[in-house]
Amino acid sequence: MQIRSVGIDLGKTTFHLVALGASGKVLVKKKFTQKQLLAFTANMQTSLVGLEACSGAHFLGRALKQQGHDVRLIAAQFVKPFVKSNKNDFVDAEAIAEAVERKNMRFVPIKTDDQLDLQAMHRIRDRLVSRRTAVINQIRAFLLERGMVFAQKPAKLKAAMADVLENAENALTPMMRNLIGTLWDEWKTVEEQIDELTDMLEQIAASDAGCCRIRQIPGIGPIVATAIVAAIGNGAAFRKGRDFAAWLGLVPRQYSTGGKAKLLGISKRGNIYLRKVLIHGARAAAMRIKRDRFPIGTWMNALEARAPRNVLVVAMANKLARIAWAVLSSGEDYRPVANMAGYEIERKRRLRLGSASRSHFPALRRLSPPRSAQESKDERTVTTAYLKPAPDNGLQRPTDL
């Protein structure tokens, strides 16, 4: 019995395995618990094994790799076209076994323990930030019913909390005063937890080589740097920076037919959290960067003159993502052009080589004046975007944490 590929449908307690032969015929169809599955695969011939990239896939992928199998993770949306007829667990496993054989299939790299730890820290911090916002909004709503209105910034409300709780002349009842005090204590507790996680992320960003390199890029701080490294490691899963930006959903969604290109708003697919923090970093850079000191400032001024501010921010986030991928994949430091003359020389050289295409943001295409074929090249191409990725794909765990 020669097994060509194996598909495993993951669950919390049960796992369904389907093995296909050389002709595509189903050779094995079994249901296991996690321990039974690992015992079965340990005695099975080494095979190509496909898993859906979902909860628990990274652990199982590492365990099967240690047994000698060639393990590949596939996003669920790429498995769906292979599902036949009605859906059940065995049909899903068979679809995974068929999809993993495709030569042009896109796979998800298996994350290391360090990447998963770092990603978990970001997830917890993001949840705590949402919880803090909810507590602040609830305090505002309760005080508004008592005729107390405060400025929108949380700092204004925080500065007034002592007076709200201690002033006996306001319209708060004893019960409401006690409830507001409880919410105030919760706010301070959540704030301390967020600060603690932020400090840990800053320590990791300062000790990891990849984070230190991409933190040299304007608009990328410790939060964004650690989020990028936790998501893609050294970026070896992407062939070029444009692929990384597209994976983040920072490029337009396309709906073209009949030879007519139709581009819509950004696709917003991929990692929602990473796209959010990148856009926040790009917005901070667009507002605070001294544009006369950086070559990118000329591009930002030209874009801002013909496009809305939000278009500039998203285009800046796209640029930051592509530069970050180039720095991570090459293993080299970020090297901005030293002066504007050098920047113009490099830009004209890229235009002569024809290494870029016109901006793919619809808003920019509508607002940009017509250009000739030679002048319409996209000036946002990163010259280091095609360097060979580094061989390893992980984090350096800081010893002081």
Kindly give the interhelix angle for 222-232 and 174-207, rounded to the nearest 10 degrees: 70
Rg (C-alpha) for the chain, rounded Å, is 26
For residues 112 and 210, the answer to whether their CB atoms sit within 8 Å is: no
Burial class (CB in 10 A: 0-12, 13-18, 19+), 71: buried
Query: Half-sphere exposure of 39 toward its Cβ, with a 13 Å CA cutoff?
Result: 7
Query: Going residue by residue through the chain (401 aa), what tens digit of pLDDT does each one get?
Result: 788 899 999 999 999 999 998 888 899 999 999 999 999 999 998 899 999 998 889 999 999 999 999 999 999 889 999 998 888 999 999 999 999 999 889 898 999 899 999 999 999 999 999 999 999 999 999 999 988 888 888 999 999 999 888 888 888 888 999 999 999 999 999 999 999 999 999 999 999 999 999 999 888 999 999 999 999 988 888 888 899 999 999 988 888 888 888 888 888 888 899 999 999 999 998 888 888 777 778 888 888 888 888 999 999 999 999 999 999 998 888 887 655 445 555 556 666 665 444 455 555 555 545 444 444 444 333 333 333 444 444 444 443 33
Query: Half-sphere exposure of 45 toward its Cβ, with a 13 Å CA cutoff?
Result: 10
Q: Who contacts 362 (Cβ-Cβ below 8 Å, separation ≥6)?
A: 252, 263, 264, 265
For residues 355 and 256, the answer to whether their CB atoms sit within 8 Å is: no
The two most distant CA atoms of the chain are separated, in Å, by 85
Residue 390 DSSP one-character state: P
